[in-house]
Amino acid sequence: MSGGRSAPATTATTPQGLPLLLDGVTYRYGRTRSATAPAGLGPLSLEVRAGEFLCVVGPSGSGKSTLLSLLAGFLRPQAGVIRLGDTPVTGPDPRLTLVQQEAALFSWRTVAGNVSFGLEQRRLPRAERDGRVGDALRLVGLEGYGGRRVHELSGGQRQRVSLARALALQPRLLLLDEPFSALDDRTRTVLADELLGIWWSRKVTVVFVTHNLEEALALGQRVVALRGGEVALDAPARELDVARLRETLE
């Protein structure tokens, strides 16, 4: 992996990603607090450009997971608004998908069946589903793996399937929650490069949450550091280094 990326603005196709706006978003958990309880989030305002690759870093309890849950529509902000494009996000939204830390594949389905699941929920015609499944598997380097059972795959391959499952839905916003953290360094590097290639070709807006500062600087165009549920730093990746990020988060 190399340093922070520039925007894919000079390509001929229209960017697929949508701009994301968080305006005064606040979420607090219940009154019972413990050392391990999440701190909640906000008030937080943030703007992510269409097609931008944003990395969010922060220590445990800084609000990263809360932010992703809010963006994914699993939590509703107690104050403020989240907008994807022109419309607010008020629940799970078909314009966005989430890739989790663990692949969370459906072991009763084949690889192709997993990738097809979201398309089936959208009741797309069989032919279109098959086409999209094939495209997504090709994109993540798993062409020919469609008929395999997921338990026959390695950790890296599973995470590829998870990514393909999200990409098949052609999301306008791709949320990634430490998707490579359970992988070995080599596989992580390979997958990170592949993710950049996919982002570059699809022009999707990406919010990538990680606790790995090197990974954030290598992948993101821009890095947001959260601390105690608030933005401690928001800067282009090329202007940052690990030492500064670490200093900010301490």
Partner 1 sequence: MTPRTPAADPAPPRTRSPRWQVLSWQLIGLALILGVWWLVTEGLGLYPPYVFPSPAQVWTEISYGLWGTGPQDGKLLSALAGSLRRVLTGYGIAVVLGALVGLLMGAWRPLRAALGAYLTGIQSVPSIAFVPFAILFFGLNERAVLFVVILEGFIPVALAVSGALLNVPPALRIAGRTLGARGLSLTTGVLLPAALPNVLTGLRTAWSFAWRALVGAELLISGVASIGEQLEVGRATANVALVLASIIIIGIIGGLFDTLLRALEGRVRRDYGLEVTP
State in angstroms the smallest separation of the CB of 241 from partner 1: 28
Rounded CA gap, 11 and 137, in Å?
23
Q: Among residues 22 and 98, whose Cβ is nearest to partner 1?
A: 98
CB of 5 to partner 1, least distance (A): 14
Q: How far is the CB of 235 from partner 1 (least distance, A)?
A: 28
Residue placing its CB nearer to partner 1 in the complex, 142 or 245? 142
Residue 24 CB, nearest approach to partner 1 (Å): 25
**In sequence order, what are the residues at sequence separation of 6 or more whose Cβ sits closer than 8 angstroms to the Cβ of residue 202?**
16, 167, 170
Closest contact distance (angstroms) between CB of 156 and partner 1 is 4
Q: How far is the CB of 240 from partner 1 (least distance, A)?
A: 26
| Residue 137 in tokens | 């598997």
Compare residues 171 and 245 and give the one whose CB is closer to partner 1.
Answer: 171
Q: Diameter of the chain by CA atoms?
A: 52
**Amino acid (1-letter code) at residue 8:** P
**Alpha-helical regions (H) of the chain:** 64-72, 111-121, 126-139, 155-167, 185-202, 213-219, 242-249
Q: Considering the complex, state which of residue 206 and residue 223 has its C-beta at the smaller distance from partner 1.
A: 206
Q: Which is nearer to partner 1, 162 or 221 (CB)?
A: 162
Identify the three-state secondary structure at position 160. helix
Contacts with partner 1 by CB under 8 A lie at: 72, 74, 92, 94, 97-98, 100-102, 104-109, 117-118, 120-122, 138-143, 148-157, 160, 162, 165-166, 169, 186-187, 190, 194, 197-198, 200-201
Measured between alpha carbons, how far is 177 from 101 in angstroms, rounded to an integer? 5
Among residues 56 and 245, whose Cβ is nearest to partner 1? Answer: 56
Q: Token digits for 247?
A: 């200093």
Looking only at the bridges linking them, the beta strands covering 87-88 and 79-84 are antiparallel
